[in-house]
Structure formats: C-alpha cells, structure tokens
Amino acid sequence: MRVVVTDPPAFTPWYDHELACALARAGADVTVSTSRFRFGALPAPEGYRRTERFYPLSSRLFRRSPLRIPLKVAEHAFVAASLAATHPDVLHVQWLALPQVDMHLRYRAPTVFTAHDLLPRRTAGKRKLWQTALQRFDRVVVHTERGREVMGELGVEARVIPHPVYPSSAIRADDGATVLALGVIRPYKGIADSVEVVRRLPGARLLVAGDPAMPIDELRAAPRTEWRLGYLSAAELDRALSDTTVALFPYRPEIDQSGALLQALGAGVPAVVYDVAGLADPIRAFGAGRVVPAGDVDALTAAVGELLGDPVALAGARAGAERARAALTWDAAAAAHLALYEELL
C-alpha cells in the first residue's frame, strides 16, 4: 500500500516521523511530504522517505516573524495544486495550512485527515469553513472521544485513534520536588497557573522547558523557577524529563490532545491536568496522575502537592504512566490507521 503522509506546514514533524516509521514497519510504502522544520533537526527517516518540498522560501527565511505569513500565502498555491494532484493509494493529510483555500480542493486519491486541533485557534469561529473543508475527506481521525463529539456537531463522522506516547530515553533522576511545564509556551497553556502552583508550594520548584511564542518577561522573576528556553533537542528533552517529578498541564480548552503530555507519559512521568478537551483521557484511563476542574488553581495546587508529598500516591501515578507507555504505542496506532486505509481501497 502506497501512503503519502502530508504535513505541508511541518506543524507536527515528530508525530509524522513516528507514524511513518510505524506504518513502514507494518509493511506500507510511506512518503512524508512536508516543508523544512524551522526550529531544529529531525531524526533521519527509518523505512520511509521524507521530501521537504513545500514552502521552500518561507520555511527557510523566517522562524516566528510575521513577515513569513504573506510569503507563505503566496507559496500556498503550489501546495494546494500538489495535494490535489497527488495520487497514492491513500493521502493522509495532517494539517490544512490555509483552510480558506483548501476547503475548495478536490483530491484524486482516497483521503484521510487527522484533526489534531479540531478547530485551530486562528479560524475556530469559522465553523462553516471547517465543516466544508472536513467534508472533502473520506475519513477523519481524532485522538479522543471529545474530538469525535466535536466533529459530530459539524456533521462529520470521525474515527478515534488515540495519540501514542513518544518514545523517550529519559531516566529517573529527579529530586522528588520538580514540576515541569513542557513545550512551546503559548497563552492557552496556562504558564501563569504553573508559576502560581509552585509559588504556593514552598518545597517545589518549576522547570519551564520550551520555546516562547508569547511574552514571558513578567514571569521570569518567578520564585524557584528554572527556564530552559528555546526549541529543545531530543537530548535536552530527555534531560528535562529525567529531572521531572510531575508534569503540569493547566491548559485552556483550545486543543484536543497535547503532544507534550504524551512526551511526559512516554518518559514514565505522571501528570496533573485540567479537565479540558481530551487531556484527561490517558490520565484517567491509566491512573497516570491527577485530573482537576479546568481553571481551578486551588485544586491544581492540591493535586501537585499530594503527588510531591505522598510517596505512595506518586508511585501509583508513576505506575499509571508506565501503563500508558506500554499501551499507547505507535505500532498500535499504525495498525488502526492501516485498517482505516483498507476501507478506502
């Protein structure tokens, strides 16, 4: 089976890589069609091909500069024409970079779309746009039951394939008191709540590891906080996870699932999450930490304090993270995707 996994803007290159590797291990002939990732080096393809042919200028001249956007829009005409002309056995699209244009595409190949963010933040209010764009695809994949419900509200039937954990070489080397805020720092990730939790817990310290995509100057003086800023390499990510006792995800309800959460669980690190979107699903399913009401900083603080202060509770949460790591594998996700692809042939 010839499968093209395409992520034109390279929004989730690590996800693309792991899924393509697993599909290739299962016997598929896989090509990842994407653009240059602007923030760091990616692992070499294993059993699949990667072509970085989209957005050749905007992906190389800029990082987060707003000057990139007009050039990217101009380059998108080639992306749209290429996707429309691609004709493998299955075309699996991970992201629509410009849905206002992509909603009009007609594909030659059977198509699958993974709705990673359900309704992405910049266009979340344009429900008719997304309804039209999603109905262009033969199948839609989401990571959680909540995602399936949101798609149902748009009249789109979706298949749930849980997001796997990311493999990790982290070792347990924490001090028993370190709370981690992991990933690109954006407003919806609630970094101020993480800072507040540690401020309220005198024995705790906060490790912030990620690339800022928002102003953080007012937070830099937070007590007992270490800032490891920038896009983390695989080695730096493993070091941060090795140093972590509990990962913290006080997100606002703007996504379906968090790749950073799955990185933590992949390292056997338990997590405390707000009950938003699908973040609670793996925590509840495997007992991999604690789930608290969205926006409730008191409950968030109490949950973190319990895990840091009670060795039995922490051991139980760590065991749950290990269960998640054993169950949520890329090979299982690849098998589910291949079964979905077979329906289209």
Q: What is the distance of C-alpha 213 from the center of its chain?
A: 16
Q: Of 141, 107, 122, which is closest to residue 19 (Cα–Cα)?
A: 141
CATH (domain of 199): 3.40.50.2000
**294 and 278: one domain?**
yes
Does some domain include residue 228?
A: yes
Q: Is residue 128 part of a domain?
A: yes
Quick one: pLDDT at residue 83?
A: 84
Q: Is the pLDDT assigned to residue 62 strictly greater than 70?
A: no
| Res 124: pLDDT | 56
Q: Are residues 153 and 9 in the same domain?
A: yes
In a domain, 173, yes or no: no
Q: Is the pLDDT of residue 41 over 90?
A: no
Q: If you write DSSP's letter for every residue of 102-119 in order, what string do you get?
A: HTT---SS-EEEE-SSSS
- The reported pLDDT for the residue numbered 99 is 80
What is the distance between the alpha carbons of residues 343 and 338, in angstroms, rounded to a whole number?
9
Per-residue pLDDT, averaged over 337-341, amounts to 98
For the stretch 184-214, pLDDT in tens is 999 999 999 999 999 999 999 999 999 999 9
Mean pLDDT across 206-229: 95
Distance (Å, whole) CA 10 – CA 163: 18
How many structural domains are present in the chain? 2
- 72 vs 87, residue with greater confidence: 87
Q: How far apart are CA 247 and CA 316, in angstroms?
A: 15
Strand locations in 13-105 (E) = 29-35, 49-54, 90-93
More confident residue, 55 or 50: 50
**134 and 247: one domain?**
no
Question: Are residues 10 and 130 part of one domain?
Answer: yes
Residue 250 sits in the same domain as residue 295: yes
pLDDT band at 121 (very low <50, low <70, confident <90, very high): low
Residue 106 scores a pLDDT above 80? yes
Structural domain boundaries, residue 118? 2-164+329-342
> Rounded mean pLDDT of 147-175?
94
Report the C-alpha gap between 17 and 39 in whole angstroms.
16
Average pLDDT over residues 253-259: 85
DSSP reduced 3-state for 300? helix
pLDDT for 77 equals: 80
Residues 143 and 199 in one domain: no
Are 241 and 168 spatial neighbours (Cβ–Cβ below 8 Å)? Answer: yes
Identify whether residues 48 and 128 lie together within a single domain: yes
Instruction: Give the model's pLDDT for residue 64.
Output: 63
Whole-number average pLDDT of the chain: 92
Instruction: State the Cα–Cα distance between residues 253 and 274, nearest whole angstrom.
Output: 9
Of 246, 223, 241, the residue nearest 305 (C-alpha): 246
pLDDT (0 to 100) of residue 46: 97
Counting residues of the chain whose pLDDT is more than 90, the rounded percentage is 75
Q: Report whether pLDDT(126) > 80.
A: no
Give the pLDDT confidence score for residue 123 in this predicted structure.
Answer: 52
The answer to whether residue 301 is domain-embedded is yes
Residue 172 domain flag:
no
Which amino acid does the sequence have at 249? Answer: F
Q: Check whether residue 270 and residue 336 sit in a common domain.
A: no
- Contact call for residues 104 and 77 (beta carbons, < 8 A): no
Average pLDDT of the residues in 128-137: 88
Task: Tally Cβ neighbours within 10 Å of residue 340.
Answer: 17
What does the angle CA 283 – CA 279 – CA 185 come to, to the nearest 5 degrees? 120
Mean pLDDT across the stretch 119-125? 58
Provide the pLDDT for residue 65: 63
Same domain for 183 and 125, yes or no, is: no
Is 120 in the same domain as 131? yes
Both tokens of residue 210?
Answer: 């990620």
Q: Does residue 202 form part of some domain?
A: yes
- Whether 149 and 246 share a structural domain: no
Q: Tell me whether residue 79 is in a domain.
A: yes
Whether 66 and 194 share a structural domain: no
Ranking 21-25, 55-59, 252-256 by mean pLDDT, the lowest is 55-59
Question: Is 10 among the domain residues?
Answer: yes
Residue 242 has pLDDT above 60, yes or no: yes
Tokens of 224: 């007992």
93: nearest Cα among 103, 167, 55, 336: 103
Mind listing the pLDDT tens digit for each residue in 63-74?
666 666 776 777
Do 148 and 158 touch, CB atoms closer than 8 A? yes
- 341 or 129, which is more confident? 341
Percent of the chain clearing pLDDT 70 (strictly above): 96
Nearest to 268 by CA among 313, 330, 305, 320: 320
Instruction: State residue 118's pLDDT score.
Output: 74
